[in-house]
Chains A and B, each alone.
Chain A
Amino acid sequence: METLAIEKKDLYTPVMATIDRVEQLTGTEKRFHIVLPHGKELNHKPGQFVEVSIFGFGEAPISVSSSPTRKPGFELTVRKAGRLTEKMHTFTSGTQIGIRGPFGNGFDLEKFKGKDVLFVAGGIGLAPLKSLIEYTMDVRDDFKRLIIVYGTKSPSEILYPAEIEEWQKRDDVEFHITVDRADDAWKGNVGVITTLIPPLKLDVENTMVAVVGPPVMYKFVVMALKAKRIPDANIYMSLERRMKCGVGKCGHCQINNSYVCQDGPVYHYPIIKELEEAI
């Protein structure tokens, strides 16, 4: 049958990569630095994800948290949230792990070039955004202001203390952080992430916004951005869904007619407005 004359792909076999560094970040999050075999690079875009494979445990979609500019290898930040991620947390340097991908669209970097960039990160949403943040810092001249707002539950859950210290020191990056609940040592902002947005001085027409956080966060962040009169067309957000296969087949990640693993996970806000199930 002539309609079947098409190149067939083996879609589900992972490559065996090696974990070469593990770092405990918080009580529930670790980061893993991973290298592919034969010196290959992942060549991902900020915002893309991989399917991590642990035999006997299955696969899970995990965002790449490092910038493609920082080679060799790549970094995954993993929260202990189920059987597979609990197992992954027992892994030490030298452990082999299966990787498929990168999958998804990633951020449309062309749209961010020459603009101010506002990063809005809630909780572990900072992991995928860190890829974009590092990228903009590494090709700093391509972008104007870099403004990061980051909200997390408590000071002990701050994901990347070392990086954040560095970002705070830089005079070409504006960094704002808040926690929902302070502890005795905390001297910074207390309150949800949306409290950081109203005080920002923004050139709204020329500010591109990248939002990643827990599902509950998006509506409120959009309201805060609209209150600032940021045009809808300047907003991009990355959505979490159950990307089981990563190749647009299994159906689990579907939002209305959109497969998050193919058309997302990064969505332009005008598209999200058309997707009833999105946020």
Chain B
Amino acid sequence: MNSQYKNLSELKRYFFDQETARRFISFLMKKAEVIAPHSKGEKSFAYQVTTDPDQVVLNYPRTIQPLKKFFLPPRETLLEYDLEKNAIKKPELEPKDRIFLGVHSYDMKSILLLDYSFKKGNPESNYLTRREKSVFIGVSYQSDEYHLAEDLGIDIHDVSGFSLFLDPVEKGFLVFEVDEVGANLLNEFDAGLPIDTPLEQDFSERKPKLKMHHKRLPQIFEHIYHSPVWKKVAERCVGCGTCNLLCATCYCFDVRDEVELNVKEGKRERYWDGCMLNPFAEVAGGENFRPTLDSRTRHRLYRKFKYLTEQTGELHCVGCGRCSKYCPAGISLIEIVNDLIDDYNKQQKQAVTLV
């Protein structure tokens, strides 16, 4: 049975019909900037600042870019400098109230994982200031062929990190009150009385996409460092770095100085970088420490399934499916991981035969 439904069944819930939901979005827009999924073209979606509640899309498979861009912008000025005076200025960042509406549970999870990465060791003010006053309202979704979140232990109805959670039902939404911030919003909005009948539970079975339970995945990464699978993936990979840029938990960056045409002022800017790109591990002398596509593919997956997992105990792939859906070479993460599982099982069998 679906364990998270048990979780939901313990929460206070309300029913909003479509019109109430629309009024609720307008209410949220008066409280803070509301960032929500919007249509981009016919089949694509993007998180953007809401100006019209009717433009918000709550039934969507995934946005093209994950939420990280609101906390770690694709391009951000770290310093401004005056070359004539050799003086520097750091742009001021103020925490801003923001409500992220219509977020899927895997995207929420990615922010909780990024929090770890930016707090660990040296807590970074740029990220943490942007993150400070954010409120998240989740929504459930229909899993498509690219989603892997449920197989990685992130349930569609996982409410961790959210203040409220929406579940579309006939003619409206069930609205679950997750934390105090959410309770206060509902109270102020005057959501009426909670529903007191027991929550109907979904007992439908899900067909697993991965050939192994997610709890065992970090363990197989102990054995597949030299697997032939890496070379097999590298044969198709074009090294474009799309998987890094669209990954909900990738946060590596580069820093570059840009000088204005007047050669008097400039900026030091940080922008997203990706370990799949060839020069990523290159040093000034020209030595490249990860010069091949197979070694870079391996590094990318080890960052998701082992290196950070050793520190947090959590997988750092949230199964959003973006790397697979938008890979120009059609490489599927689900396929890679299943191939690695096959390779691991083969190794285990051989080991048994040898004994």
List A residues at the B interface (Cβ < 8 Å). 3-4, 6-14, 16, 55-60, 81-82, 85, 96, 98, 214-215, 240-242, 244-245, 247-252, 254-257, 262, 276-277
Interface of A is mostly: loop
- B253: chain A residues at CB < 8 Å are 245, 249-251
Q: A4-B119, A247-B122, A254-B307 are in contact. List 17 more A-B contacts (CB 8 A).
A: A3-B115, A4-B115, A4-B132, A6-B128, A8-B124, A12-B268, A81-B285, A85-B284, A215-B289, A242-B284, A244-B254, A250-B252, A251-B251, A251-B280, A252-B252, A262-B121, A277-B290
Given A55-B83, A55-B266, A85-B284: A249 and B88 within 8 A (CB)? no
Q: Which residue of A lies closest to B244 (CB)?
A: A251
CB <8 Å contact, B90 and A255: no
A3 vs B123: C-alpha distance in the bound complex, in angstroms? 12
CB <8 Å contact, B257 and A55: yes
A249 vs B121: C-alpha distance in the bound complex, in angstroms? 9
- B124: chain A residues at CB < 8 Å are 8-9, 11, 247, 249
- A6: chain B residues at CB < 8 Å are 119, 123, 128
Given A59-B255, A85-B284: A10 and B125 within 8 A (CB)? yes
A11 vs B122: C-alpha distance in the bound complex, in angstroms? 8
A245 vs B79: C-alpha distance in the bound complex, in angstroms? 14
CB <8 Å contact, A256 and B125: no
A81 vs B126: C-alpha distance in the bound complex, in angstroms? 31
CB <8 Å contact, A250 and B119: no
A3 vs B280: C-alpha distance in the bound complex, in angstroms? 32
List B residues at the A interface (Cβ < 8 Å). 78-79, 81, 83, 86, 88, 90, 115, 117-126, 128-129, 131-132, 225, 251-257, 259, 266, 268, 270, 273, 275, 280-285, 287, 289-290, 295, 299, 302, 306-307, 310
A28 vs B259: C-alpha distance in the bound complex, in angstroms? 27
CB <8 Å contact, A8 and B123: yes
CB <8 Å contact, A240 and B283: yes
Q: Which residue of B lies closest to A247 (CB)?
A: B122
Q: Which of B117, B255, B285, B299 contacts A58 (CB 8 A)?
A: B255
Q: Which residue of B lies closest to A257 (CB)?
A: B307
A242 vs B289: C-alpha distance in the bound complex, in angstroms? 9
CB <8 Å contact, A248 and B120: yes
CB <8 Å contact, B86 and A250: no
CB <8 Å contact, B256 and A58: yes
A4 vs B275: C-alpha distance in the bound complex, in angstroms? 28
A189 vs B284: C-alpha distance in the bound complex, in angstroms? 30
CB <8 Å contact, B88 and A14: yes
Q: Which of A10, A56, A59, A251 contacts B83 (CB 8 A)?
A: A56
Given A249-B118, A251-B252: A215 and B287 within 8 A (CB)? yes
- A262: chain B residues at CB < 8 Å are 121
- B225: chain A residues at CB < 8 Å are 276
- B131: chain A residues at CB < 8 Å are 4
- A276: chain B residues at CB < 8 Å are 225
- A16: chain B residues at CB < 8 Å are 86, 88
CB <8 Å contact, B273 and A250: yes
A249 vs B72: C-alpha distance in the bound complex, in angstroms? 12
A11 vs B299: C-alpha distance in the bound complex, in angstroms? 26
CB <8 Å contact, A252 and B281: yes
Given A8-B128, A59-B255, A242-B283: A256 and B289 within 8 A (CB)? no
CB <8 Å contact, B78 and A12: yes
Most buried by A among B128, B131, B268, B280: B268
Q: Which of A4, A14, A58, A96 contacts B128 (CB 8 A)?
A: A4
